[in-house]
Amino acid sequence: MKGIADTGFIVAFLNRRDAHHAWACAVAETVEAPLLTVEAVLAEAAFHVGSVEAVTKLIPAGLIQLSFTLDENLNRVETLAKRYADRTPDMADLCLICLSEQHRNRPIITVDGDFLIYRRHQRERIPVIMPSD
């Protein structure tokens, strides 16, 4: 199965002390690389992991692929920001919703419960892979 990587998944995968590390490693073994993601996710992950290098190494290793440009999707991101203003979504989440709209068969791999509330194309649930806790 192919997927889309969110920040929490990447952080959990890279950080052995993360509560979801075992889950992230198990998921990583079952998904087909590369996982798609957006630059905002990588920026967040690098901050949380405390290492730009650890995160960026995932790209040449073939585990992560950047597959989104904000300038080409700006109008949609702005529309989503207005729609979900009451939830104050971050840039990474908005970009991942757009990416999910473009890659319908790829679930978002996340620890973020907001993706259970967000909708793509206004009414369609976004498929997710999340830890069960």
pLDDT in tens, the chain (133 residues): 999 999 999 999 999 999 999 999 999 999 999 999 999 999 999 999 999 999 999 999 999 999 899 999 999 999 999 999 999 899 999 999 999 999 999 999 999 999 999 999 989 999 999 999 7
Answer for the pair 4, 100: CB distance below 8 angstroms, yes or no: yes
| Amino acid 26: pLDDT | 98
* φ, ψ (nearest 5 deg) of residue 92: -60, -45
Measured CA to CA, the distance from residue 119 to residue 98 in angstroms comes to 10
Q: Which domain holds residue 101?
A: 4-129
For strands 108-109 and 4-5, give the pairing: parallel
| Amino acid 133: pLDDT | 73
Tally of domains in the chain? 1
| Amino acid 114: pLDDT | 95
Q: What CATH number does the domain containing 9 carry?
A: 3.40.50.1010
Predicted TM-score (pTM) of this structure: 0.95
* φ, ψ (nearest 5 deg) of residue 18: -70, 140
